Amino acid sequence: MNKKVLSLVAIALIAYGIFVALVVTFYDDSPTNMQWEDREAFNKQYVSKLKIDQLTFNQVILDLGSPDITEAKKVMSDQYQLMYYRTQHVKSDGITTEEECTALLFKNDVLNAIGHSAVKEYNALK
């Protein structure tokens, strides 16, 4: 009886190991494939860890995917990109608005400001 139980446990552990390996190998957990609630939570957690001047535009696109809203302008020789990522649910209307997002401002492809200060700085540009 003990050998039978041990062999069943061993089979179950092997099957579990194979299942985990398949999930890790084939499951694509990128933000673009997440449900909106999960993506919103992921974006919020990601944004909370950002540091000014230490992140590039391309890295954010790679990590978070395309922004929900974006604006851009060129002032003299500097390029500014304001990207909004949804981080808080406000109203269930199927439309993502700026108030539901956190703004990231990039100057020449480097993170320059986050949140309300990013919007304020971008709007002050002429």
Does pTM surpass 0.85? no
pLDDT digits (tens, 9 = 90+) for 10-24: 889 999 998 888 887
Strands (E), the chain: 69-75, 78-86, 101-107, 110-114
The domain spans of the chain are: 35-124
Of 62, 64, 72, the residue nearest 106 (C-alpha) = 72
Q: What is the pLDDT of residue 117?
A: 95
pLDDT of 35 above 80: no
pLDDT of 93 above 70: yes
Architecture of domain 35-124: 2-Layer Sandwich (3.30)
Task: Provide mean pLDDT across the span 38-45.
Answer: 89
